[in-house]
Each structure stands twice: as C-alpha cells, then as structure tokens.
Amino acid sequence: MKPARIATVTPVSEESAVGKVVAVYADIKATKKIDFVPNIWRVLATNPDHLELTWTRLKAIMHPEAAGRTSKLDPLMREAIALAVSATNGCAYCVNSHTAALRKLGFDAEAVGEVLAVAALFNSTNALADGYQIEPDVLPPLDG
Amino acid sequence: MKPARIATVTPVSEESAVGKVVAVYADIKATKKIDFVPNIWRVLATNPDHLELTWTRLKAIMHPEAAGRTSKLDPLMREAIALAVSATNGCAYCVNSHTAALRKLGFDAEAVGEVLAVAALFNSTNALADGYQIEPDVLPPLDG
Amino acid sequence: MKPARIATVTPVSEESAVGKVVAVYADIKATKKIDFVPNIWRVLATNPDHLELTWTRLKAIMHPEAAGRTSKLDPLMREAIALAVSATNGCAYCVNSHTAALRKLGFDAEAVGEVLAVAALFNSTNALADGYQIEPDVLPPLDG
Amino acid sequence: MKPARIATVTPVSEESAVGKVVAVYADIKATKKIDFVPNIWRVLATNPDHLELTWTRLKAIMHPEAAGRTSKLDPLMREAIALAVSATNGCAYCVNSHTAALRKLGFDAEAVGEVLAVAALFNSTNALADGYQIEPDVLPPLDG
Amino acid sequence: MKPARIATVTPVSEESAVGKVVAVYADIKATKKIDFVPNIWRVLATNPDHLELTWTRLKAIMHPEAAGRTSKLDPLMREAIALAVSATNGCAYCVNSHTAALRKLGFDAEAVGEVLAVAALFNSTNALADGYQIEPDVLPPLDG
Amino acid sequence: MKPARIATVTPVSEESAVGKVVAVYADIKATKKIDFVPNIWRVLATNPDHLELTWTRLKAIMHPEAAGRTSKLDPLMREAIALAVSATNGCAYCVNSHTAALRKLGFDAEAVGEVLAVAALFNSTNALADGYQIEPDVLPPLDG
C-alpha cells in the first residue's frame, strides 16, 4: 500500500528501511523513548547520509547525555528555544512537534504562552532595531 | 552638538526628553538597574506613544515582577529565547544586547554557544520540514 | 460555477480571461510546454499589469532562451536555487512547484535531498554568523 | 581610480557605463528626478539584463504614471510598505533608502515611527499566529 | 463539546471566559464592531496577561481613536502594511485576516494586488541589496 | 595581544587552540586548501563540541569526497545555493564568503548576478504565493 501523502517525497517506512537507515531509526526510538519514527526522519531517510548527519547533530545538541556530552542548557530551555525559532520561521511541523515536547516536559498552555510572548516580543523589537538601523550600545567588553 | 549617527532618525537624549518620555526613561533605568538609556529606547522616543507601548510590553514580559505579575519562565530562559530569535532574524543591535544580558546572568561563551547551537539546529530543521512540506505527526491531543 | 477556493482572491479562469491576460496565459503554456495555467498565474491575473510584469521577469530569468537571452546558469541550477529559497521562506506553493520541476529535470528524491541539505546547512550557519555577529574574513579583492 | 568598496562586486560608474546600462541610468535619474545613480543600480549593472529587468519592474510598480499605467496606491502608501518590508527583512540599504523617500514625501520621524510600529506589531502577531498554528477565521467570502 | 482543532492549544470560548478575558473579549468586539471573537484572541486567552498586552498594543496602533490617540496613518495604509508584512512572513492566519480587512475598507482584488506587488518587489530588492552587501547611499541628513 | 573585535565572543586563535579544536582547525585548512582558519570557525571554537559538529556536517555536505561520500550536486551548484540562501537571510559574513567561493570556482560578476537574480525572483514569488495563500497545483504524483 502506498503511504499517505505527508511530504513532497515518499517517506521510508520502518518496514522498508535498509542499511544505515535501520540503525538510525532504532537510535531515534531509543533516544527519544518513543515507539514510532516521526515523519521528519522518515522523509529525510530518502537521502540516508543526510538522515544520519541530521540525526547525529540533533542527538548531540538536544540529547547531549545520550551522545556522551554535557550541556549547560536544560531540556526545557532547549525546547523553548526550539519553539521560539519555529514560531519565528512559521514552520507548522516544528511548531506542533516542539509544543508537544514542552507539554511532555510539564509546560501547560499558559507557560507555552510565555514562551511565545517572548518570541513575539523580540520579533517585534528586531523589526524596530533593524527598521531604524540602530547601532549597538557601547557596552563594557565581555571576555571569554 | 548633534548626536552621533546611530539610526535613521535622531535619537532623543535624556536632556531633551519631555512629557511621557521622561517617565519612561526613568522607569527603564530603574527597572533594568542601569545608568543610561539604551539606543533603542532613545530612538523609539521620536514617537512617544510607541516608546511607551513598547516599553510597557517589554517590561511586562521580560521584567514580570516589576510589572506586578508572575511568569513561569526564569530570566535566563527569557534571554536565551531573545538571543535565539535575534540570531534567526539577524538583528545586530539585538544580538549584541541579548548576548550581554546572558553574560550578566552568568552564561559564559560556551553556554552562549549552546543557545546558538540550538537556534541554528532548528533554523536548519525548519528549512527541511518546510522544504519537504512535511505534515505534523499525529500525536495524542494536549489538553488545556 | 464558482471556482474552488485556492487563494484569498478568486482566480481568473482561462475561459474568462480577457485583454493582456489571454496573451500571457498563452505564452506561459507555450514557454513551459504545459497544457494548463498554474494557480499562481491565475491568481496574479486579478491584477493584469502585475501578472504581465511577474511573468516577463520570470520568463527572462528562468527561460532565458525563450526570452532571447543567454544565462550562465543551467536549468537544474536555477531550479535548485528556487527550491532552496522556497524552503528557506517556507512557501508551500513554491516548494511543491519547484520540487516537481527538479523531478522533471531528472533529480530523484536523493538529489532533492542534497539540495535541501545544502539549504538547511546554510540556514544554520547564517543563524550562527548573525547570532555571533561575525565580521567577514579579510580576503583578497575580487575584480569585475 | 578604483571605486570605494560598496558591495561584493565592483559597481559600474556612470562614466564606464555602456550599452543598455547607459539608457537605464538615464531613465533612473529622469524618473526619480535625482542627479546620481544610487548604489543598488550601479551594482546591478554588473549584469545588464538583470539591471534592466529590475528597473523596469520597479518603475512600473513604484512610478506607475511614468510607466504609463495607474495604481490604486499613492506614493506614501507604497513607500510605507517598502519600509515595512525592509524592516521585516532587516535590509540596511533598503531601510535607509525608503526612510529617506518617506521623509521626502513629508513624513516626519513620528510618522515614520507609526509605520514601524505597525510593521513591528505584525511581525509580533505573525509569530503568534504561526507559533500557535492558528487556523484562519471563517469569514463571509470576498468576491472578485 | 470539545472545540474544533484550530491551534496547538485549546482556545477559550466566549462562554468559558473569566476574569480579565471577559473584558478584553468585550472590548475587541466593540472596538472592531464585530459580533464574534476572532481565533487569535481566543487562543491568546490561554495566557490572560498576554492576551491583554497584545490587545492593548494592537488597539493603540490599529484603532488609535478608540485608544484616545491620533495617528498620522489612515486605516487603509495600516492594513496595507499589515498585509505586506504578513505576506513577507508567510503567515496564513494573518494574510486571510488582513486581506479581509482591506476588502472591508474598499480595496478590490486589483488594489490588493498592488499592495502585494509592492511587497513582492521589495522582498526581491531586499535580497539583492543584502545579497551584494550594498552600502547605503550617502544622502543629505534627515533631521528630527 | 587581544584579538580584534570580530564577534560577540573572543575567537580562539590558532596559537591558543587546544584539544579537539586543534584537529578541527587542521582539517578545515587541509580540506579547504587554505592557510588560515576563517572567522566563523574561530568563533565556533568557543564551544568545541559545537565547532566539531558544525564542521563535520559542513564537510560532509560541501566537501563530500573529502568525507568519503558522493553527492549528485557539483561544487558550483552547492555554492550557488549557499549564496542564494545567505542573500535571502541577509547574512553579511555568509554572502561575502560564498561570493568569494563562487568567484574561485570561476563565476564572474555577471554569473553571480544570475544567481542573485534567481534568488531575488523567488523571494518575490514566495511573498506572492504566501500573500495570496495560493494552494499547490494538483500535479501527477512523483515517485521515490
């Protein structure tokens, strides 16, 4: 049976995965503790190298402990940034996915609203600072 | 003496401020605990109503306690979102200002790098999800 | 019968076209070697001057030989750029249309994936270069 | 003498212009009633076809009467839109140029501030509507 | 009955509104002279403070007379800017809403086309000016 | 001596590099066949993990042969996409860097102009398709 239309290319189902795609799919499910492969990974699998590169990087940045490293950001802050960037870019898939992640981590609708309030505020002031071409303030240097 | 060029309009110096601009300038300095008025506010003061509207909103969202409300986000998360949005939009003034704010709150260059790593990652996956027109995953509904 | 909703304005069908719209529709079908007028042109036809201006420009840039000029880019490169820009801006209509064009020119899903991998990579590094406000490298001058 | 660095390519000075560039430069100065060729046109002239295509389109849209057509927008509205879009995209050259055009048409700093206030407001609500993935309201249909 | 899916959070219906949400909903309907609360406000109401902040600002900028202030822009110019910004950001909700507002104010499809023609033109020249990194023209200073 | 200001953080010079930064710097110079480390890598080195992740990915996508893989895109097409995306996002560092790369690969100013003409065209039509909320054309399905 042909998979339902979810993208401009036909996604690679878990059953039809071969080669490095199999290992990446398994790692995604284990790392994220979920029992399905989200659409974005099944679509990226149409170019297996790119799937692997994207997953390796997302794992290292968003699941640092699973990638054997440490991060100074906690999961809530990372997902809040993810939602703010996705709202700024207007990405439907990403907004849905990162709102769900924030909810899983305990944020209720009001807290999601605070994240979007901050994102919206700075989309606004970014347009003002750029729209007036305002020069940066002269501040004491930051070291390191 | 004419102020140095910092924008497409001539900023309103603290000395020449009149009317509601005086009160907003004072509130900015008191709320942010700084002894100067940053460029963006001096530029916005060329339209006093807009200065007041922008400041009122920024104060409520970024300094909730000073505005008599509570927020479920802490200052670090708010500034991290601010930097991520400003990096996404490429706003020079804002990137400088929010990097400085994160440094003041204790983030070193490595931690700033983690914020930008997350922002960069999702600028990348946003382009992929949109570039393939990937449909959102069907997830269990979130309530509230 | 009222046309199906495809936009915020009612598109101009081929049957109801008059004046310069008729000629532009005919030129679009002849130049693109297709037997229908894509939605974007039928929508733009609600302002006939703008239809003509947009088509004239697109024809000159994307179909240079038909416009009596030469281009140093080949059709694949032009469509790859079109998809990359459309992915960056998150434009659903455009992503669908340029993916189809790349497929017609012989790109399979893996090659489309390489185009999007490059686009995604630079959406990422753009956010980093802007997010750190990195100055351009000092390089030897380029002439011409 | 080598022209000062104003772009990634060497602009075409009025003295060194040949072929169709000469005619476009003359038309720009006559249409805009200015006695110099702005940087953007001198840079575009490094690809004469593209210079001509861009100018022809800008002239038709921004100087409709000079292009023998009529527009339902007046010059102030057109320049206000131009500044709002340029602020949204953060384009330094364009913000400077369209602020100057608005000032020439009689807008003072306060009125420029209103234009940017509207632009900033909708950069904010765009991020909110996209950040929540809000569906359009069901409204009575618009005809024509 | 559960409301239909219109966003990533469950909107607050007029019947279930409490506290400051009630007053904001009433003010929205009175100020906009409509008999329903548009989706964006019902979604923002999941964070009542943010609803109030966003509405207060939108009212002051888009309905200045109702907010007891004057603006140098007329309603048509404000809505034209709103549509141009929303088209630039690709916001579906906002494009629908501001096209409807322009139609209510008397713009037909051809006039809406002129607004989008200007917006599209400057999205194009913004990419050119930034893509060549063109320096601003040296113009006589603007005062005030 | 303190390095010149080139970013919001102090870049890591080649002399002061330690640990994995040393190896990445060496690989950058060998892979790109250059004798200096460009600013972006020296800035990213303030977070060594992120430096390594970003370089690994850029190497795999932009220098596939050096990463032991093959790509269906040639270097010119990859750099053209890079410039088009960077122009769309208005990234100064990136525009300079990718224009230089295209020039090294043999593109003259006229050919760079064609790349930017295509990028500008689709920034324009993206705004139109989004500004009218145009639905994708119904096309025959693409397989694979």
CA dihedral B16→B21→B25→B26, nearest 10 degrees, is 100
* Lookup: tokens for B27: 């509130």
- The one-letter amino acid at D36: F
**Which residues in chain B have their CB less than 8 angstroms from residue C131's CB?**
83-84, 86-88, 95, 116, 119-120
- Cβ D84 vs Cβ C95: under 8 Å: no
pLDDT attached to residue E48: 98
Whether B143 shows a pLDDT value over 70: the answer reads: no
Task: Please tell me the predicted confidence (pLDDT) of residue A25.
Answer: 98
Chain D residues with CB-CB distance to B8 below 8 A: 95-96, 99, 112
Q: Return the pLDDT at A143.
A: 53
Digit-coded pLDDT (tens) for A7-30: 999 999 999 999 999 999 999 999
Chosen from C5, C6, C8 to mutate, greatest number of chain E CBs within 10 A? C8
pLDDT for C1 beyond 80: no
Token duo for residue A130: 């750029």
- Is the pLDDT reported for residue A2 higher than 80? no
Whether B45 contacts B22, CB under 8 Å: no
* Residue range D77-103, pLDDT digits in tens: 999 999 999 999 999 999 999 999 999
C-alpha torsion sign, points C131, C135, C141, D1: positive
Q: Encode pLDDT of F43-64 as tens digits.
A: 999 999 999 999 999 999 999 9
- Give domain F73-133's CATH superfamily: AhpD-like (1.20.1290.10)
CB E141 within 8 A of CB B9: no
Tokens encoding D111: 């009125």
| Probe site for chain E from C9, C55, C134 (most E CB atoms < 10 A) | C9
Residues E57/E69, Cβ–Cβ less than 8 Å: no
Look at E144 and B8 and tell me if their CB atoms are within 8 Å. no
Instruction: State the best of A96, A121, A124 to mutate against chain D, taking most chain D CBs within 10 Å.
Output: A124
Query: Rounded mean pLDDT of A60-70?
Result: 96
- pLDDT of F144 reads 45
F93 touching C (Cβ < 8 Å): yes
The pLDDT value recorded for residue C139 is: 76
3-state secondary structure labels for all residues of E58-87: HHHHHCHHHHCCCCCCCHHHHHHHHHHHHH
Nearest Cα to Cα of residue C121 among F51, F86, A38, A30: F86
Q: Mind listing the pLDDT tens digit for each residue in E3-38?
A: 456 899 999 999 999 999 999 999 999 999 999 999
Do B80 and B115 meet the contact criterion of CB atoms below 8 Å apart? yes
Average pLDDT over residues B70-93: 97
**Residue type at D142 in one-letter notation:** L
pLDDT band at C3 (very low <50, low <70, confident <90, very high): very low
Q: Nearest-CA residue of chain F relative to B97?
A: F8
Task: Name which of F50, F52, F122 to mutate to probe chain B: the one with the most chain B Cβ atoms within 10 A of its Cβ.
Answer: F50
B55 closest CA partner among A135, E73, A128, E40: A128
Judged by CB atoms closer than 8 Å, whether chains meet at F142 and A9 is answered as yes
Report the pLDDT averaged over residues D11-21.
97
Q: Above 80 in pLDDT, residue F142?
A: no
In angstroms, what CA-CA distances link B133 with A43, C41, C83, C96, E2?
10, 22, 12, 8, 29
Would you put residue E90 in left (φ > 0), alpha (ψ -120 to 50) or beta? left
Residues 6+ apart with CB under 8 A from F37: F14, F25, F28, F29
Q: Do D110 and B53 touch (CB under 8 A)?
A: no
Q: Is F136 on the interface with E (CB under 8 A)?
A: no
Q: How far is CA F16 from CA B111, D135, F19, F42, F46, in A?
A: 20, 53, 10, 11, 11
pLDDT in tens, E86-144: 999 999 999 999 999 999 999 999 999 999 999 999 999 999 999 999 999 987 655 54
- In chain F the beta strands, taken as DSSP E runs, fall at none
pLDDT band at D15 (very low <50, low <70, confident <90, very high): very high
Percent of chain B scoring above 90 in pLDDT? 91
| Model pLDDT for residues A104-129, shown as the tens digit of each residue | 999 999 999 999 999 999 999 999 99
Q: How far apart are the first and last CA of chain A?
A: 57
pLDDT bin (cut points 50, 70, 90) of residue D2 is very low
Cα R_g (chain E), whole angstroms: 19
Instruction: State residue E36 phi and psi, 5-degree precision.
Output: -145, 165
**In one letter, which amino acid is A111?**
A
Which of A91-95, A137-141, B118-122 bottoms out in mean pLDDT, i.e. has the lowest?
A137-141
Contact (CB<8Å) D40/E88: no
Asked if the C-beta of E85 comes within 8 angstroms of chain B's C-beta atoms, the answer is: no
Report how far residue C102's alpha carbon sits from residue F37's, in angstroms, rounded to the nearest whole number. Answer: 36
Q: Which other chains touch chain C, taking contact as 3+ CB pairs less than 8 Å apart?
A: A, B, D, E, F
Residue D7 DSSP one-character state? S
- Any residues with CB less than 8 A from the CB of A85 and at least 6 apart, and which? A94, B84, B85, B88, B118, B119, B122, B123, B126
Within an 8 Å CB–CB cutoff, is residue A129 touching chain C?
Answer: no
**B with E: how many residue pairs have Cβ under 8 Å apart?**
28
pLDDT above 70 (res A3): no
| Closest C-alpha among F52, C123, F103 to residue D8 | F103
Report the alpha-carbon distance of residue C56 to residue C52 in Å, rounded. 6
When pLDDT is cut at 50, 70 and 90, the band that residue A6 belongs to is confident
E121 at interface of B, judged by CB pairs closer than 8 A: no
Nearest residue on chain C to E94, alpha-carbon basis: C8
Average pLDDT of span F76-100: 98
Do E95 and F126 make contact, defined as CB atoms within 8 angstroms? no
What is the rounded distance in angstroms from the CA atom of residue E76 to the CA atom of residue E106? 9
> Averaged over E76-80, what is the pLDDT?
98
What is the number of alpha carbons within 13 Å of residue D103 lying toward its C-beta? 15
Predicted local distance difference test score (pLDDT) of residue C140: 67
Q: How far apart are CA F102 and CA F87, in angstroms?
A: 14
Query: What residue of F is the nearest CA neighbor of A142?
Result: F9
| pTM attached to this predicted model | 0.96
Reduced to 3 states, what is the DSSP secondary structure of residue E92? Answer: helix
How do the domains of chain B map onto residue ranges?
12-70, 73-133
Collapsing DSSP to helix, strand or coil, E55 comes out as helix
pLDDT score for B138:
84
With a cut of 90, say whether residue A142 has pLDDT above it: no
Residue A109 forms contact with D (CB below 8 Å)? no
Contact E109 C46 (CB under 8 A): yes
Q: What is the CA radius of gyration of chain C?
A: 19
Indicate whether F143 pLDDT > 70.
Answer: no
Cα separation, B50 vs E73, in Å, equals: 14
D26 φ, ψ to 5°? -65, -40
Measure A120 CA to nearest chain D CA, in Å: 4
C131: chain D residues, CB-CB within 8 Å: none
Q: What percent of chain C has pLDDT over 90?
A: 91
Cβ(F55)–Cβ(F30) below 8 Å:
no
Q: What is the pLDDT of residues F2-36, one digit of tens each?
A: 445 689 999 999 999 999 999 999 999 999 999 99
Quote the CA–CA distance of A55 and F43 in Å, as a whole number: 24
Start-end of H helices in A1-144: 20-32, 39-44, 48-62, 75-89, 92-104, 109-131
pLDDT (0 to 100) of residue C6: 86
Residue type present at position E46: T
Cβ burial E71-80 (10 Å sphere, 16+ → b, else e): bbbebbbbbb
The whole-angstrom separation of Cα E69 and Cα E66 is 8
Alpha-carbon span C116 to F77, nearest angstrom: 12
Q: Does B57 touch chain E (CB under 8 A)?
A: yes
The amino acid sitting at B96 is N
Residues of chain E with pLDDT > 70, as a percent, come to 93
Residue E139: predicted pLDDT: 76
What's the CA gap between C58 and E100, in Å, rounded? 29
What residue in D sits closest to E56 (Cα-Cα)?
A: D121
Task: Give, in order, the Cα–Cα distances in Å from F79 to each of C121, F58, F94.
Answer: 12, 12, 11
Q: Which two tokens stand for residue D135?
A: 């569906």
What is the rounded CA–CA span in Å between residue F39 and residue F36? 9
Nearest to D87 by CA among D78, D96, D76, D74: D96
- A-chain residue closest to C100, CA distance: A8
Q: What is the pLDDT of residues E28-67, one digit of tens each?
A: 999 999 999 999 999 999 999 999 999 999 999 999 999 9
Question: What value does the mean pLDDT of chain A take?
Answer: 94
Please check the confidence at residue C78 and state whether its pLDDT lies above 70: yes
Measuring CA to CA, which residue among A5, A37, A2, A1 is closest to residue A22?
A: A37
Q: Token pair of F115, please? A: 């790349």
Which among C72, C87, C75, C78 has a CA at the least distance from the CA of C118? Answer: C87
Q: Which residue of A has its CA nearest to D82?
A: A131
Q: D8-33 in b/e burial notation, b at 16+ Cβ within 10 A?
A: bbbbbeeeebeeebeebbebbbebbe
Neighbouring C-beta atoms of residue A69, cutoff 10 Å: 12
Tokens 């101009």, residue located: C12
Asked if residue D139 has pLDDT above 80, the reply is no
pLDDT at D1 over 70: no
At residue B142, the 3 state secondary structure works out as coil
